[in-house]
Amino acid sequence: MDPQDEAAYAGRVRAWADHLRDGSRQTWTEFLGTPAAPADDRGGAPLPGAAQLELVRRLADADADLPRFADLADLVLTTAGPGRGLVDTPLPWPSSRAVGTPPVEPDRLPAEELLRASAGVLARLLAPEADLAPPRPSRPWRPWRRGFTLLGAPTTVELVRTALLERGLREGGARTTWFVLGGPLEDLMAQRWSARVRAGAGLRWQRLWRTSATNDRLPPGIALASIAQHVADEFDPSRVHVVLTDDPTTTLARVSEVLGVPGGPLEPRADVLATDLLRRVNPVLGLAIGDVARRHVVDRVWPQISAGEQTAPLGAPLAHLDWAIAAGERMAGALSSARYAVHGDPAIVVPTRRAGVRRAPDPDDVLAHALVVVGRAWRRYTERQP
């Protein structure tokens, strides 16, 4: 590419960027088919890459009503893709450069590249949240109330815990009743994965399974039989209850029955896509504001990241399904012969060889979710910085 051609290319890319800033959803190919204005390479800022440009286009496509879209576009276009991936992917042009990343049609970029760009943008949008004070959980002192302690499946624990506190029960205490909450093993692993990622891990779903299978050990937080056994040994087995169900409403009903309070409906949470998105954002956000602040920010914004997700639960990766079934059977066996109360059928924990189950998050689905989350984060950002 000679210097004149390079200037013409740069001018056309900047013109498309301007067009996208105005909310256009035209692809690069469609844009190239429109009459070209005179080349205008203003120089200065580096040319945005294909991923940044395409992300702006997809954001406009996902939500046409985003406020101050041009400002969001500028933020996206100036955010370098963090971490590893294609370096400065150029757009197709009649005379391409002999060196560097080969050109790619932006709308044919791999979802992973757009997710990388999204992670950088989300980190920039979320970092200012660190300046807000972390919420202080209120814990009214009610020693006369019945105490409970929840262990096991992290998401279910969170949901049930909130419901019980709303009913005026207290957490912990000397005469607490211990509940170990669980369900199907794959669901337990998904909840564990979500909790680990929210705590800062950049862990993939497949990696969590591989590590567990290689070590032939379930993550300690969801090894229901070991947890219940430990609590029964340390305290009174009559105060230990393992509750096995496949939905949080039934779990709450069983726990409430033991505690003598009314149950109620609980909305099940699906957060596969949000978790896979967050694992990509975590390292970038952690580098920007540090790990402690990252944790506070994630605690605060997790409801916005995970809201609206309707994905089906993930299954164990095929490579580890045999191990998953064996581990589930061992757990079910241990729970069946326990000397503490078990509510529900222990066989529920054992995975089955179901067909048509997704066994890893689909990057295209994660990207679609990421576009929604960037939009939400942008609205929040503009509300705080009018």
Partner 1 sequence: MARKVIVHVGAPKTGTSFVQELLFGSRQRLMALGIGYPADRFDAHFLAALDLMQLTWGGLEREAVGAWDRLASQVRAWPDTAIVSHEILATASRAHVARALESLSTGDTEIHVVLTARDLVRQIPAEWQENVKHRRIVKYADFLAHLQDPSRQQGVASWFWGVQEVPDILDRWGSTLPREHVHLVTVPPAGSPPQLLWQRFSRVLGLDPAEFVLEDDVRTNASLGVAEAAVVRRLNEQVNGVVPNHHYRAIVREALVHQNLSRDRRSARLSVPPDVWTWAADLSRTWVTELALRGYDVVGELDDLLPTEPLPYADPDHPDIDEFADAAVRALTAMTVEAARLRDREVELQHDIEELIDKLDAAHSTPIYKLKERAVARASTSRFAAKGLGVYRRLRGRNSRST
What is the closest distance, in whole angstroms, from the C-beta atom of residue 169 to partner 1 in the complex? 30
Q: 121: burial class by Cβ within 10 Å (0-12, 13-18, 19+)?
A: buried
What is the closest distance, in whole angstroms, from the C-beta atom of residue 182 to partner 1 in the complex? 24
100 binds partner 1 (CB under 8 A): yes
Of 180, 129, 186, the C-alpha closest to 318 is: 186
Nearer to partner 1, 210 or 230 (CB): 210
First CA to last CA across the chain, in angstroms? Answer: 43
Residue 338 near residue 227, CB atoms below 8 Å? no
Tokens standing for residue 75: 């933020």
- Please choose, out of 44-52, 153-161, 301-309, 333-341, the segment that lies near partner 1 by the rule CB under 8 A: 44-52
What is the closest distance, in whole angstroms, from the C-beta atom of residue 134 to partner 1 in the complex? 18
Nearer to partner 1, 30 or 107 (CB): 107
Exactly one of 4, 35, 84, 144 binds partner 1 (CB under 8 A); which one?
Answer: 84
4 binds partner 1 (CB under 8 A): no
In the stretch 268-307, what mask flags binding to partner 1 with x, by CB under 8 A? ---------------xx-xxxxxx----------------
Amino acid in position 110: P
Taking each helix axis as running N to C, give the angle between helix 111-126 and helix 69-77, from 0 to 180 degrees, rounded to the nearest 10: 110
238 binds partner 1 (CB under 8 A): no
Nearer to partner 1, 217 or 358 (CB): 217
110 binds partner 1 (CB under 8 A): yes
Nearer to partner 1, 127 or 348 (CB): 127
Q: Which residues lie below 8 Å from residue 220, measured CB to CB, with a gap of 6+? A: 226, 227
Q: 102: burial class by Cβ within 10 Å (0-12, 13-18, 19+)?
A: exposed
Please give the torsion angle defined by the CA atoms of residues 227, 229, 235 and 237, in that order, rounded to the nearest 10 degrees: 120
DSSP assignments along 305-349, one per residue: HHTT--PPPPPPPGGGHHHHHHHHHHHHHHHHT-SSEEES-GGGG
What is the closest distance, in whole angstroms, from the C-beta atom of residue 17 to partner 1 in the complex? 13
- Please choose, out of 39-47, 188-196, 233-241, 333-341, the segment that lies near partner 1 by the rule CB under 8 A: 39-47
What is the closest distance, in whole angstroms, from the C-beta atom of residue 37 to partner 1 in the complex? 24
Angle 258-262-267 from CA coordinates, rounded to 5°: 105
What is the closest distance, in whole angstroms, from the C-beta atom of residue 84 to partner 1 in the complex? 5
308 binds partner 1 (CB under 8 A): no
88 binds partner 1 (CB under 8 A): yes
The residue assigned the tokens 């757990």 is 331
In the stretch 177-216, what mask flags binding to partner 1 with x, by CB under 8 A? -------------------------x----x--xx--xx-
Nearer to partner 1, 252 or 289 (CB): 289
- Please choose, out of 86-94, 169-177, 179-187, 306-314, the segment that lies near partner 1 by the rule CB under 8 A: 86-94
Q: Which residues lie below 8 Å from residue 278, measured CB to CB, with a gap of 6+? A: 197, 198, 298, 302, 305
Q: Which residues lie below 8 Å from residue 109, measured CB to CB, with a gap of 6+? A: 50, 51, 54, 89
86 binds partner 1 (CB under 8 A): yes
85 binds partner 1 (CB under 8 A): yes
In the stretch 112-141, what mask flags binding to partner 1 with x, by CB under 8 A? --------x--x------------------
Tokens standing for residue 32: 């190239």
> CA 329 to CA 321: how far, in whole Å?
12
- Binding positions for partner 1, rule: CB under 8 A: 45-47, 49, 78-88, 98-102, 104, 110, 120, 123, 202, 207, 210-211, 214-215, 283-284, 286-291
